[in-house]
Structure 1
């Protein structure tokens, strides 16, 4: 008997269009937020799309960030170096992103949200650490992170 095919987080989330919807709404909130707006004031108009592509690639989708946006894991980290982000800013960032996920209707099953929150916690904590160094700690040829279902093993699908 064949085991059921487990979708990637990218597929379960709704693929690129859904991730772009998430990041567009999120950065709209960021631009209106007193605590976070100054941090993102100089971002490019296509920043939200690049972040959606990065998350999509990390979640098992196509390599849009590396192949289309000209990015790498090191390049993403480089954007945080020297920004001196605080824990308060990180928590606000995380809260606004999760609020945005709820508003656009990203899957809210416990398994997906566990993977999503796990990735966002991990990535945002690294961003804070990397924002307080003067040189990028990630080498240009470092592999992209790859995030999966973790301990849950896949999405909850009731019988």
Structure 2
């Protein structure tokens, strides 16, 4: 029988689970995602005021952040100041819950538009991080917030690894 050894035992597959970064398509895919996303943000009346003065390379910097979070190279820590820098980008901004929700919605839509993998395992991990991270951004941006600047860049992983036969 397929999937079982001759002794009737289930076959054991030796597979290496790719990082979310690799599964997404690496740096190129994340830059594409965030370029599309921030283009929509600048057209959105609720979010445009928050982002109107962003650095022209903002999408690329956030792609480096997301890449590190998703198991790619530690380039945000190495070149952009790590978690402390990301926290600093949110301090005092007073992000509202409606802004957070709109940000999440636009980013999830941009993932479709950018052609990120649509399998349930990847999208669960992606949506989980976006939801968690956006809620932290609200906390960090609140008046009087004093987040710990010594935290490392978070690492996000699969809630359930992809099936061995699945592909990005």
TM superposition score normalised by structure 1: 0.92
Aligned partner of 1:54 among 43, 65, 71: 65
Aligned partner of 1:147 among 145, 156, 159: 156
Summarize deviations over 1:48-86 as a string: whole Å, max 9, x none: 100000000000000121223x22111101111111111
User: Separation in 1 of the partners of 2:72 and 2:66?
Assistant: 8
In the alignment, what sits opposite 1:95? 105
In the alignment, what sits opposite 1:80? 90
Query: What's the secondary structure of 2:107's corresponding residue?
Result: helix
| Structure 2 residue 121 is matched with structure 1 residue 114 | no
| Bigger helix fraction | 1
User: Separation in 2 of the partners of 1:11 and 1:138?
Assistant: 29
Alignment gaps of 5+ in structure 2 = 1-11
The alignment yields a C-alpha RMSD, in angstroms, of: 1.5
Contact 2:24 2:116 (8 Å CA) reproduced:
yes
| Structure 2 residue 38 is matched with structure 1 residue 19 | no
User: Separation in 2 of the partners of 1:45 and 1:83?
Assistant: 19
Structure 1's 43 and 96: CA in aligned 2 closer, same or farther, altered over 3 A?
same
Alignment gaps of 5+ in structure 1 = none
Q: Cα offset for 1:135?
A: 4.7
Question: Which stretches of structure 1, 4 residues or longer, exceed 2 Å deviation after superposition?
Answer: 133-136, 156-159
Q: Cα offset for 1:155?
A: 1.4
Aligned partner of 1:29 among 37, 40, 49: 40
| Structure 2 residue 144 is matched with structure 1 residue 134 | yes
Contact 1:109 1:156 (8 Å CA) reproduced:
no
Q: What is the aligned residue count?
A: 155
TM superposition score normalised by structure 2: 0.87
User: Separation in 2 of the partners of 1:79 and 1:10?
Assistant: 23
